[in-house]
């Protein structure tokens, strides 16, 4: 079963989960097309991870946040998000 109730999130990402046989998968999709230069830089349109933390790490790689040294969570995933 897939939760298709996507919500617009900060930083141009929509985040949702899907579940199959009890395993949850976390997804993030940009809500805009990428430019050619962004694609050359290695940016991607869709991210997939097995865990919320894994998706946070991928989001941070795709759109790093200035943190002042501390690893801050990416704003596209709210703390305590439910699947």
Q: Where are the domains positioned within the chain?
A: 7-62
**pTM summary value:** 0.65
Strand ranges inside 1-83, DSSP E: 7-8, 13-20, 23-30, 46-49
For 5-26, what is the mean pLDDT?
Answer: 80
For residues 24 and 48, give the distance between their C-alpha atoms in angstroms, rounded to a whole number.
11
Q: In this predicted model, what pLDDT tens digit does every residue of 29-52 receive, in sequence order?
A: 998 899 999 999 999 999 999 999
Give the mean model confidence (pLDDT) for residues 11-27. Answer: 92
pLDDT at residue 16, as a whole number: 94
Structure tokens at 70: 């501390």
Query: What pLDDT is stored for residue 63 in this prediction?
Result: 77
Check: CB of residue 27 under 8 Å from CB of residue 17. Answer: yes
Q: Is the predicted pLDDT of residue 82 greater than 70, yes or no?
A: no
Q: Cα–Cα distance between 11 and 24 in angstroms, integer?
A: 23
Residues 60-81 pLDDT 10s:
998 766 655 545 566 677 654 4
């Amino acid at each position: 079963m897939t939760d298709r109730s996507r919500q617009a999130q900060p930083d141009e990402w929509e985040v949702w989960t899907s579940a199959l046989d009890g395993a949850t998968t976390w997804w993030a999709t940009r809500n805009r097309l990428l430019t050619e230069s962004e694609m050359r830089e290695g940016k991607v349109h869709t991210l997939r991870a097995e865990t919320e933390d894994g998706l946070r790490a991928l989001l941070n790689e795709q759109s790093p946040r200035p943190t002042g040294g501390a690893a801050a969570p990416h704003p596209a995933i709210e703390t305590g998000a439910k699947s």
